[in-house]
Structure 1
Amino acid sequence: MLAYFPSLYPDEIIYSGIARYHLMSGNRTQKQTIFDLFGSRLVCATADLPSHLSALAARSGTVYTTEELIKNHTLYPYYTSYGSKDKAKELFRLMAEGSNRGESHVLMGIPACKIKLPTKLKYCSSCYQDDTKKYGEPYWHRCHQLPGVHICPMHKSILKVSTVEYSTLHHKFSFVSLTNYNESDYTEPVVDSSWLDYLTFIAVQSNLLLHSQQIIKEESASYRKLPSMEGYRTVGGRVRINRLIQNFRNSYTDKLLEYLDCGIDSNSSDTWLHKIIRNQEEITHPLRHLLIFGFLEKSVAGFSVTTNNFPFGNGPWPCLNKAADHYNQMVIDKCVVTRCSTTTKPVGTFHCNCGFIYSRRGPDTCDEDMNRIGRIKNFGSIWLDKLKCLNESSITLRQKAKILGVDPGTVKNQTELLNSNKAALRTKKNQNYLARSKRNRNNEKGFLQTKVKRKVDWNQRDEILYVLVVETVGQMKRLPNPERISLASIARHTDLGQLKQKLIKNLNKLPKTNEFINKHIDSTEAYQIRRLIWAANRLHEVEGRMSGWRVLKLAGLNHPLRKEVEIKFMELLR
């Protein structure tokens, strides 16, 4: 099991988390990092549909389950959104257990599809800045790496194309962190201004597919039954396919369709649009479904393609817990979107940190919808504490309901539930009390005192840990092969036993130890300079001479070097 694995940020791809882990671990090679995380050196650096995730989940302990990694940090929800449940289960198995190279992609028809995968990883400058302010570092977002997505769904800005390769063709075992990437080294694609609304629609809808919590099986036949298709149906129910294709091409333009790898040959009677409308049993890329959806909404139903097609907006959303001080304030940043099993309309479930969870059926059509509750799924401790206080007062049932923002029946039900819980606790306490002997009852106070958990003396613990940490850092600096000094490596080398986790989790309560660690911990530049000095000294001792490339090879470094490291490297060669 790993001593440490970084927390994955919202919408972060696993590739990005592994790249950040590699920087923190101080490993000399990427293959060593891959072996640490997966127990194998043959796992490829895959950005979209990685494999062997059960091994990664097991080695990270109880931090993440395999399902959480696959559904929240890969493109699995996107590619299974319009597919069959059998294919989704098989893809999940391949990603969890591991597969031959490219097997997951072949299963979903990606190599055979004309819609090509992105060649480079993409990022949004606004997201880069926001993530750095909020988390202290930027990271690669899932929603930016989807095929056909050239706009950030959050900021509606054009994505920048990095120099980091998307596929594993030329860097099979290389994970590149966005933190380590030079932000100024990018290209910004030239996009026709008339395409922006369409591309924004695709980005927002693609992001919605990523955050869907269930498989959306859209039968192609349903397109023929939509009211939007009324003008394309004959009396006998057949589709006027030529008229549909002509209007479809006029709406998007052939240039945009070619740009998205979704061009339609006017002379063919077997295009991808024919196949979707005819409901042929074959895999169809989610991007093409989104194009049809956008076309029908825009040209037939009378709705214009806007830059805000997320069914409940892009957040944050208000907390509607009337018992909380932050009532009606925009403090909720988590909205889980599912589909109603009867109407297929989107259902948003909003989670507030106060424990209040509510849901409503969408999509939102006006600003007032944001303040509407369909169902309360959890009241939370703040709401229940308020109910207890109101029950001790003399106000009426309707007044309580008005204060709490619910109906009187809900107040009665929750009060009965509270009382039943109290009664159950009281009964259990009485049974335990009667089971005690007379001697135990007379010594109840002393008995309870012996069960009180002893308070930790953090000052004393700080002194003990300080001595151990100082000794450990000294030993690490004397190692024959330099190792990066970090909090995790100090904890790994220190003989602390059960105190190891306390050192990591409670460092803010150990001021003396914390100050020493902050002074001696290695930055990336400092660690690389230490390796250069060690490599140079080693070559002098063994061979009596040194050359630049030998120093870099022994130190495990490559060009380009960071500025401080480059300066030290040139000094060593003089």
Structure 2
Amino acid sequence: MLAYFPAIYPDELLYSVLARYYLHVGLPPVANSHEILFGRRSVIASYDLIGSLNILAERIPAERSLSAEVLLNMTLYPYCVAFEPGEVRTRVEQDLKEGKVLGSHLRLGLATFRIGRVTHLRFCSACNKEMLVRYGELYWRRSHQLASVLICTDHEIALQQSSVYLDKESRHAFIAANLNNCSVLSSTNLFNSKSESVLNHLMQIGHLSIDLLRGTTPKSFEEWTIYYRARMLSVGLAKSAGTMNQKSFCEEFRQYYAETLAYFPHVIDGGSYPNQWLQSLVRRHRNASHPLYHLLLQNFLDQRKTVEPIFGVGPWPCPNPLIKHPEKYPVTNINLHGNRDRTVARFNCYCGYTYTRWYDKATKNLGPIRFLKYGPSVLPVLLSMVGLKKSLREISRLLKLDPKTVVKLCLELGIKSPWHSKVLAQSIKPITNKTKEVIRPSVDLTKTLRAATTDWAAIDAEYKFKISESSTLIKQAIPPIRVTLAEIERCTCQRGWLGKRLSKLPKSKRMLKRAVETTENFQMRRIVWAKDQLEQSGLPVDEWRIARLAGLKPKSYALITQFLQQLDILE
């Protein structure tokens, strides 16, 4: 049990409390001193996530009421897990309490983002003045060490980087804030803009970031998907619940933040978003995203005006005549999709009844209710009505459907009814004089057909000559190029033009068949060329040299050997 543990100041980081402890008791903040607090030396002095909290809580005097949970909330743990599922939070919390810190950043996905961790501890010059007056010493504030906070939300001035460069300090050292490492004169501001819009954006992001430190309710990736899609739909940036207007969304996001994005490295790269992080947030969530990404998106959506939904905010009525709902508007779920220039809504009631309505964007008219399916409530009613031999008209009036729709419904449900044969008979129209007139050809065969405007015979003769000429030119190329249909098309016309019209060009087709080289013929031509090149350069005419120069694979050595043997016979 510790005899002394320092008082904890407002918004103080646990890293800072431990650094002040070593300073107050006169111990160096290095590994050898960690046994007093943690019972072991191998404790990593991580500014954001500190482990072995169970042991630390046991050694702090009980009257301080500093449990492992309280100590955990003095780190940046609430911020790091704000958008993680519950199971990930539980596992990371357990690891930090037990001292397993090394894999925590990987499990949270923080190590995979281009947004790096804070490299220099940060401070606010105005806050430091107040600390000296009130407490007589400086400390590191928790809210100032967040990657998404560049401004002190209390004083609305830029945060500054201290001289504590964490990458160069010992990984086991807890470094306390003081006037030397928090010098206003030698420290740099995190931003220098005086633009009112930039300041407003940074203040908004800062407040949202600090809210995360107070704790959030865990949501699964699926719940975040539903949340963002609903928000996008409410502000008019979605075509439907499942289709986002990504082009307008990305452009408006960029225009809204403008130069503010320059102060958050790796959020935007030129005109695009690295790894499409912005588009991914409003798609189906499968992986974790950095808290800064979420905050930028949420702030953007919060500042937009809510667009009144086309079909109202709901709930909506259910026109099912077979069920009396206890509530007036029982439908709470609708799905939207596009159909050309119309938006179609599908209303799904818990009773199983489903209907649709459309909205025309051009005329801004709302279409009538259109039945889609009844659900389980219609089967017993139809069986009863058909069994009682009710007329088709009577049943259709009860169900508020067209008679043909009732017949179709019976067929789908496998209910035998006396109307099937009638409907089938109506669908097969008898052949009458009227129908004969309809199916007679409307084209007057006595009229002469218009002559073709394209003279394919002339084109055939022209391309026959072009094919012959181009094949000769291709064979003269150095290094050799294979004579193919594609190569001839490059020389004579557009790619694909000739091959699609060979049925109309018989002479060109025959010429093309003679001109195009087989693979073996082309290889032989390259072998001859390679041999000539070797002889001109004075190098030995070996098989491997010919194969290498001709670009042939080892399996072509037999062809090269055969060629060289034929040359020896001729000589």
The alignment's TM-score, normalised by the length of structure 2, stands at 0.49
**Structure number with higher relative contact order (C-alpha < 8 Å, ≥ 6 residues apart):** 1
